[in-house]
Amino acid sequence: MTAPPLAPPGLPRLAQLIWARSQEHWRFVVIAMLALLHIAVVRGVSDPWARALLLAHLGLLLLWQPFVRAEQRVSPAQGLVLSLGALAVMLRLDWWLLAFWVVILAGLVGGKVYQQQARWQRRTYFVVFLYLLALLAVVILPQVAPFQEIAPEIRAAADYGLPLFFVAIAFFPSEPERAEAAQVIDFFYSVFLMLVLVTVILGSFTLMNVRKTSYLHALSITVLLTGGVFLMIALAWNPRSGFSGLNVFFSRYLFSIGLPMERWLHFLAELAQVEARPERFMEEAVGALARLPWVSGVQWSAGERSGMEGERTEYDVGFENSAVSLRLYSSYRIGPALHWHLHLLGLLLGEFYLAKLREQALREASYLQAVHETGARMTHDIKNLLQSLNVLCSAAERQAHDDSPAFQALIRRQLPVIAQRLTETLGKLQRPQQVADLHLPAAQWWETLRQRYRGEGVSFADRGLEAAGALPRSLFDTVADNLVRNALAKRSLDPELTLRISLSCSQGVISLSVCDTGHAVLPEVEASLLRSPVPSASGLGIGLFQAARLAEAGGFALRLESNQEGRVCFVLEGRADSAAREGAAR
């Protein structure tokens, strides 16, 4: 059993105790409320004590009522309604007022029967509903019927037998309602029950006047006729023979307003695929929206564009978000269903427009990223060429007074290579998507690399180059230059560092390895190396990141194979045939 909620502040101690107990033992509140009603009905409307008992009955009803939580303060409007009810009980109490009140109570209780999840709570409300029906049919209605023909023994049995319902409710297992959850009734079902009871009452009285029958006979016939009518409606609503019933036509009527909406959504989805400009997309979507049968006009504003489609009317629905402002006009009075549909249309159009704006921003970001990556790649190519030129300049300064044959041979080897690579870099910068990578035989590229770094203290090793085939020269030049220059930069800090470059081919797989005996890459740098730019005082990271992206685009893979103190190895590896296909595709 859950603990009762805290009582509202400002109540006396006794009132707080009564309120808390009423929340914990709600069934006894219901029993007391019905007991007071039963005694007042038995005593009759002419008894002054009946009016006092009904006022106490109304007080207990306020503790149970399913409309407002008991801990909430009563508003002035609610207080006025309660005062009018109490005044009517004191001044105008009669059997018709009692019958009307019991019909209302039966509708409220019946609306809670199918809303309860707990089994015994549902059974409690069902027993209360049966009691109210019995009280209405046996005790109250005979007092207002055209012919008051009710046997005294039946009336006595009702007076003393109906309280047995209270005993049954008291012995039901205790299942307290959750105090934090507001009580809920099915309003439609409650009103339906009230109308059915009013129909039975008026139908019985009409039959008594027309057929001059007794009360019980007229009531029985009316109940049977009403039940037969509802049985026929139920069979027509959902036939068991497999045919469509009234529920299909009713559903079609309710959802017929959604058919034009579905066509507009289909058009909106197609438009989103073919139209990339957000403003143009908005104009086309609004034009189609204005052609819906229950939309007479649309006024819209998106970014710096605005417009008006159709005509303005006095019935409109507005919608606005961070990018779109819409106002939809209808030729019909806007009910709740149409208001919901129009607002939903505005919400969908606004979300589509925001998606188009995000798509445009993504295209611009992708374009800027492509420009950045192309510029960064070209920058590193030019940097490598500049380093090669600096090597030649240093050699020229050392040989300023002695033009040795070795220096002249170096100039003859390096200058044509530098000029050719500079021409290719300029071509990539002008036409980045059209210049294909030039493939050279592996042996020829390997010999060029050895001549380029001759005299740099680099050892070379090769294996199986005669069967290597061709390799992409630009890719291998970029990767080799980045790896070798980074290793030479490490040698400037550690003169004892040795550098070894090897190129091998085995079963069609070409592998270029650059290893040095320097310090290992730091763990925090290794986690992002080759995957994103890495901040470093010597610039290590951005070049390798671009080289890894270029290798991936060419069908190769650049990885850090070994990262140990005294052995740091980078490997560029891939199949020669896949590299040729990637180069041809580009």
Q: What is the DSSP string of 5-67?
A: PPPPTT--HHHHHHHHHHHH-HHHHHHHHHHHHHHHHHH-TT-HHHHHHHHHHHHHHHHH-SS
Number of neighbouring beta carbons within 10 Å of residue 237? 14
Domain end (from 203, 230, 247): 247
3-class secondary-structure state, position 504: strand
Tokens of 274: 């073919």
pLDDT exceeds cutoff 50 at 180: no
Residue 2 banded pLDDT, cuts 50, 70, 90:
very low
Residues whose CB falls within 8 Å of the CB of residue 134, separated by 6 or more in sequence, listed in order: 158, 162, 165
Determine the average pLDDT of the residues in 456-468: 81
**DSSP strand pairing (557-564 vs 315-320):** unpaired
Q: What is the pLDDT of residue 26?
A: 66
Query: What are the backbone dihedrals phi and psi of residue 459, each rounded to the nearest 5 degrees, phi first?
Result: -95, 145
- In the predicted model, is pLDDT for residue 586 greater than 50? no
Judge contact between 86 and 62, C-beta under 8 A.
no
161, 58: one domain: yes
Indicate whether 222 and 318 sit together in one domain: no
Output 375 or 155, whichever has higher pLDDT. 155
Q: What pLDDT is recorded for position 5?
A: 43
**% the chain with pLDDT above 70:** 70
Q: Is the pLDDT of residue 582 over 50?
A: no
**pLDDT per residue as tens digits for the range 422-432:** 766 666 665 55
Residue 226 sits in the same domain as residue 262: no
Q: What is the CATH number of the domain that holds 447?
A: 3.30.565.10
With beta carbons less than 8 A apart as the criterion, state whether 492 and 450 touch.
Answer: no
Supply the pTM of this predicted model: 0.45
Q: Which range among 5-9, 187-191, 358-362 shows the weakest confidence by mean pLDDT?
A: 5-9
pLDDT of residue 358: 86
Residue range 163-185: mean pLDDT, rounded:
67
Residues 487-506, mean pLDDT to the nearest whole number? 85
Q: For residues 176, 180, 181 and 183, what is the CA-based torsion angle, rounded to 10 degrees?
A: 70
Let me know whether 448 and 567 are in one domain.
yes
Does the residue 428 lie in any domain?
no
Mark whether 228 and 308 lie in a shared domain. no
In order, the DSSP letters of 90-128 are HHS--HHHHHHHHHHHHHHHHHHHTT--SHHHHHHHHHH
Q: What is the pLDDT of residues 218-231, one digit of tens each?
A: 888 888 998 888 88
pLDDT at 200 over 80: yes
**Considering the chain, what percentage of its residues have pLDDT values greater than 90?**
1
Q: Does the pLDDT of residue 40 top 70, yes or no?
A: yes
Q: Residue 295 above 80 pLDDT?
A: yes
Q: Do residues 260 and 218 both lie within one domain?
A: no
Angle at 327 between CA 326 and CA 333, to 5 degrees: 150
Q: Above 70 in pLDDT, residue 463?
A: yes
Domain boundary among the residues 316, 338, 360 is at 360
Tokens representing residue 468 in the block:
């290597």
Going across the sheet that includes 499-506, the strands are: 458-463, 499-506, 509-516, 567-575, 557-564
For residues 78 and 199, membership in a common domain is answered with yes
DSSP code per residue over 537-565: TT-TTHHHHHHHHHHHHTT-EEEEEEEET
Q: Assess contact for 89 and 50: CB atoms under 8 A.
A: no
Structural domain includes residue 370 = no
Instruction: Say if residue 6's pLDDT is above 80.
Output: no
**Overall size of the chain counted in residues:** 586
pLDDT at residue 165 is higher than 70 = yes
Of the two residues 249 and 5, the one the predictor is more confident about is 249
- Of the ranges 8-17, 79-88, 369-378, 530-539, which one carries the lowest mean pLDDT score? 8-17
Q: Does 14 score more than 70 pLDDT?
A: no
Label residue 451 by pLDDT band (50, 70, 90).
confident
Mean pLDDT on 185-190: 73
Residue recorded with tokens 């763990």: 523
pLDDT of 401 reads 58
Q: Which two tokens stand for residue 453?
A: 């770094």
Average pLDDT estimate for 501-505: 88
φ and ψ of 148, to 5 deg? -80, 85
Q: For the ranges 95-104, 180-189, 230-239, 332-341, which has the lowest average pLDDT?
A: 180-189
Q: Which of 388, 376, 442 is nearest to 415 (CA)?
A: 388
567-575 and 557-564 as β-strands: parallel, antiparallel, unpaired? Answer: antiparallel
- Residue 269 CA, chain-centre distance (Å), reads 19
Alpha carbon distances (Å) from 317 to 154, 311, 326: 61, 14, 8
Q: Which has the higher per-residue pLDDT, 431 or 199?
A: 199
- Regarding whether 205 and 338 lie in a shared domain, the answer is no
For residue 572, the surrounding DSSP H or E stretch is strand 567-575
Strand order in the sheet with 297-302: 305-310, 297-302, 324-330, 315-320
Q: What is the mean pLDDT of residues 303-324?
A: 83
Range of the domain at 305: 255-360
Residue 420 lies in a domain: no
Q: What is the mean pLDDT of the chain?
A: 75
Residue 19 has a pLDDT of 46
User: Do residues 237 and 282 both lie within one domain?
Assistant: no
Tell me whether residue 296 is in a domain. Answer: yes
Give me the pLDDT at residue 10, please. 46
Domain membership of residue 382 (yes or no) is: no
- Say yes or no to pLDDT of 503 above 50: yes
Mean pLDDT of 391-395: 65
Residue 25 pLDDT class (50, 70, 90 cuts):
low
With a CB cutoff of 8 Å and minimum separation 6, the contacts of 486 are: 538, 540, 543, 544
pLDDT tops 50 at residue 45: yes
* 116 domain-assigned: yes
Compute the CA torsion angle 270, 272, 275, 277 (nearest 10 deg): 160
Residue 515 pLDDT class (50, 70, 90 cuts):
very high
Say if residue 140 is in the same domain as residue 23. Answer: yes
Tell whether 239 and 267 lie within a shared domain: no
Q: From residue 234, give the alpha-carbon distance in Å to each of 231, 238, 247.
A: 5, 6, 10
Query: Do 230 and 124 sit in the same domain of this protein?
Result: yes
Identify the band that residue 377 occupies on the pLDDT scale cut at 50, 70 and 90: low
Is the residue at 58 inside a domain? yes
Contacts of 375 (CB under 8 A, 6+ apart): none
Nearest Cα neighbor of 477 from 508, 531, 521, 440 is: 440
Contact 534, 541 (CB under 8 A): yes
Query: 76-80, 284-288, 377-381, 463-467: lowest mean pLDDT where?
Result: 377-381
Higher pLDDT, 44 or 398: 44
Residues 6+ apart with CB under 8 A from 170: 27, 28, 31
> Which positions ≥6 away from 539 have C-beta within 8 Å?
none
- Whether the pLDDT of residue 471 is over 50: the answer is yes
Of 338, 360, 382, the one marking the end of a domain is 360
Number of domains in the chain: 3
pLDDT of residue 569: 92
Higher pLDDT among residues 70 and 264, named by residue: 264
Whether 168 maps to a domain, the answer reads yes
